[in-house]
Amino acid sequence: MDVVDTWTGRAACLLQQAMRMTNEAFAEHLGISERTISRWHAQPAMVHRTEVQQILDTAYEQAGETVQQRFALLLRPPAPRMEAQALRVAIAVVLRGDDVLLVCRRGDGELRWQFPAGMVKPGADPATVAVQETHGETGVHCTIRNQLGERVHPKTGVVAAYFLADYLAGDAANLDPLENVDVTWVQRAALTRFIPADQIYPPILNALEATV
């Protein structure tokens, strides 16, 4: 059973709530004025005088187990709020020999070449999402070689996880025409003709230069 060491305006009002009484009924029950009860509601941090502390102690002790349990639940601090997970995407840099897989996306009246990518739902594995979304968008099966890194994308503000992947099978095709205009393989040396170098995550360029 929870014990109140010091009754405050808030604690007294929670006892009133646990007893399911109006201000008028609670005031009559305690033998004090209704105006005093209203002041407790207006000043939750106030600490009551000794005689009021004793009155509230007695009211609590005589309230019965059901009310005491209800009061204990109300008195507990609220559970910490779960922070919303940041929006995350998984991006696959898929290699097939000297070629890299790209998709051309629609958006805001312009076309943009990007690497295949997909949203990562809470609890999902980003590497798995990168593989699944690549196949869903392009029909290409791939396998993750390693993760290149993660960052908050400077333009979109989403958390982006980048993966270097190897081609396994499948013909590249636009399987998501609502989002994409085209899908194609481009030579690594020509990549910056499609995506400006300053818009490419630096570890991707480093990996493409180092990978044979």
Residue by residue, pLDDT tens for the chain (212 residues) are 456 788 998 899 999 999 999 999 999 999 988 888 888 888 888 888 888 899 999 999 998 889 888 888 888 876 665 555 568 899 999 999 999 999 998 865 666 899 999 899 888 999 999 999 999 999 999 999 999 999 988 877 889 999 999 999 999 999 988 888 999 999 999 999 999 998 899 999 998 887 65
Residue that is written with structure tokens 């009924």 in the block: 25
Residue 95's pLDDT is 96
**Cβ of 74: how many Cβ atoms within 10 Å?**
15
* pTM, 2 dp: 0.60
pLDDT of 6 reads: 87
pLDDT reported for residue 122:
85
pLDDT attached to residue 1 = 43
Give the span between the Cα atoms of 166 and 173, in whole angstroms.
Answer: 17
Q: Which residue has 């040396």 as its token pair?
A: 189
With respect to CATH, is domain 88-210 assigned 1.10.10.10?
Answer: no
pLDDT for position 81: 57
Residue type, 206: N
Q: What do you get for the CA distance between the two ends of the chain, in Å? A: 69
Question: Quick one: CA dihedral 69, 74, 79, 83, positive or negative?
Answer: positive
pLDDT in the model for residue 166 = 96
